[in-house]
Structure 1
Amino acid sequence: MLNFSNNKLNNEGRLRTVLDIGCGVASFGAYLLSSDIIAMSLAPNDVHQNQIQFALERGIPAYVGVLGTKRLPYPSRSFELAHCSRCRIDWLQRDGILLLELDRLLRPGGYFAYSSPEAYAQDEEDLRIWKQMSDLVGRMCWRIAAKRNQTVIWQKPLTNDCYMEREPGVQPPLCRSDDDPDAVWGVSMQACITLYSDYDQGVKGSGLTSWPARLTSPPPRLADFGYSNEMFQKDTELWRRRVESYWDLLSPKIESDTLRNLMDMKANLGSFGAALRRKDVWVMNVVPEDGPNTLKVIYDRGLIGTVHNWCESFSTYPRTYDLLHAWTVFSDIEKKGCSGEDLLLEIDRILRPRGFVIIRDKQAVIDFVKRYLVALHWETVATADSSIESDHDGDDIVLIIQKKLWLTSGSLKDTE
């Protein structure tokens, strides 16, 4: 419907990250994979949330979320496209606050594909909803990019010009200048329009390179953290070497199709996930809620992720990930006064049978984890110190563990 050049869904690499809302079993996200597009499939926390488990079993990125009063756990300008197909969401509630949350998440020129009977306007109620939505998105400066039957695709403006040209008092208002659009952990949604940064306004867009070059190109928002391009490149190379070392240690235990769903529990700039570009895997990049909000850099690299506090449980079903990578995560939660035992149990809950955990931390943490291996039915695959790697990163120790497939004695009797 959008008629991109050469009829490529990813628009020559310019469309990379997608948010699929009310995703069902994530068939939309599955369809996009062959076009080098990665979708964060989001299921509202309602009666259909168990479909997320099916999505993850299919090896498709998915997350249980809440479209309520709090912002979704993604920074502003993270997605090129949002999608809602019969997702049963009332977009007009509370002065259109949910549509305005989508507006916050879409990049300059981003699209919202909406497929619903209201867009077809066949009866009086559908016509009423369609008119109200059309009026709202018009005041938000969205325009119709394409429309066919019951599907409409709206597009955000590339610049702030339209917002600044609106008549005084037009609703929804612009967000206050002191509102941080990237603050998401426990932050309430705002019924306002988020203006683009001066940089986005100047370049009339996000200024990102096309995929896959954006994976290793320093993104513009890197400067928000005081990181130089050289620091970015060094970090990318550092984790390339580390991941190569991890795979050497894992190689006796894995085949090319052993791993699919991976999680980096402390992703920083996303370089662990970037190093896996040639593997048939995807990575959920998790950024701590109390550290630098580097998640926007991760999305700008064409990867996906979320914000989380590892003193709490992660929003996913049990046994949904094949490998978890924990770089100094145990040391971090210890500083917060949280329980390392609880984190071990949460990792065990998330990890599939025969899945792997890579723990990179201090010797004291490694000794702590080893005390619980038997109780958790985990076994050591490999142990190494940083001396085997060219970066010699302090006194970090690498411990690779595999979760056993085990049954209770009662279960064994049932199978006889």
Structure 2
Amino acid sequence: MQDKIILDANESIICPKCAHEFTLGDGITRQTIDRHAEEFEALLKAGRDELEKHLTRDAQRKATQAAAAEIAKLQEQVSNAKRAERDAQASIEQARKDAREKAAADAEQERKALQEDLARKDAAIKGFREQEIELRRQKQAVEEQQRNMELELQRKLDEERGKITVAIAQREADRFVMMEAEWRKKFDDAQKSNDDLRRKLEQGSQQLQGEVLELEVEQSLTTTFFHDLIEEVKKGVRGADVMQTVRTAAGIPAGKIIWEAKRAENWSDKWLHKLKDDQQDAKADLAVLVTTVMPKGVTDPFTRIGDVWVISPQVLRPMAETLRVILLETHKLRQANVGKSEKVEQLYAYLSSPTFSQRIRTVLDTFSGMQTDLDSERRALTKIWAKRQTQIDRVTKSMVTVVGELQGIAQESLPDLQQIDTLEAIALPEPEQTANH
């Protein structure tokens, strides 16, 4: 390619031969200048086109590289987003799995608790049924024994009446008269002693009555909860009447309950303040006041005043069962949720809620109904036994009177009637003793 340069028309040029100086425009014709200008324009246009093509290719290459980098960046962001989505999905699945496992564990624990509660209730009902069957069996046995005894007495009377034909000696008559008088005297003395004893018991001191209620509370807790430690607070020592340390089947202490027994005619608010102080001193979890007189305006057999449970003696056992279960469940929660105080607060809120009181009231009402039915049956049996005893006493007395009259008439002609003396040994237990058995 021929090299070409661009020069200004006014450029000064010196002739190499004569050293004459002249402008380029003077030494070159206009036609030559125009021709060179056209070539320059063509050359400039070709360079411009080549430059534009080069710039276009360079811009396309840079745009392609930038687009590729942007696409790679977007693909990386999409990959990261998909990875984050998979991680989030895995976290959600794990959370759902944990929630299902926890819900299943809670449901299983609640089911076991309900089964244990149902088993205890079934055992209690079974025990009541067995007691009822035993009482009915004893009732039938007593009635059968009384019928047999009446039949045997009637047979002996018929046999002796057939043998009596003449009166027996006056000596025997006098002896029977003296014996009858002695019996009457013994009966009168026994009746008087019984009346005196009953009057003394009814007029017993308030302290003695309170001690009896305290012993009843202690005995009921000892015989019912053999796993627990039941301690009596000695007289003269500050504190409640009975301290119950609730223990698990493995012997681990789960909590303490203090019991205070009050048997009085009027309610006193000082009992609550004293029991609260005793609870703090003993560091007990629960405090229960067993009283024969409820606070003014309270008609239910139990209520809660502050942190103290106030109950009647007839609901002692079901209330003790309920509070013991609460302490055991609280102990389980403490062991399973060490450091989680909010669980204890939730449990306290549940114990203070109307739902818990309603459930306790339902259990106690059911127990009271069963206790009432049992007391009614006991009173009915006692009434029947007393009636039978009166009939037997009347028959025995009539028989002895007849024998005495016959002996007075027959003098000593009927010595066989002396066997009637053995009837004194035939006696049934008193109705009160039979009822106790």
Q: Settle same-fold status: TM greater than 0.5.
A: no
Instruction: Say which structure is richer in strand.
Output: 1
**TM-score after normalising by structure 2:** 0.20
Q: Give the number of the structure whose alpha-carbon radius of gyration is greater.
A: 2
Higher relative contact order (CA 8 A, sep 6+): 2
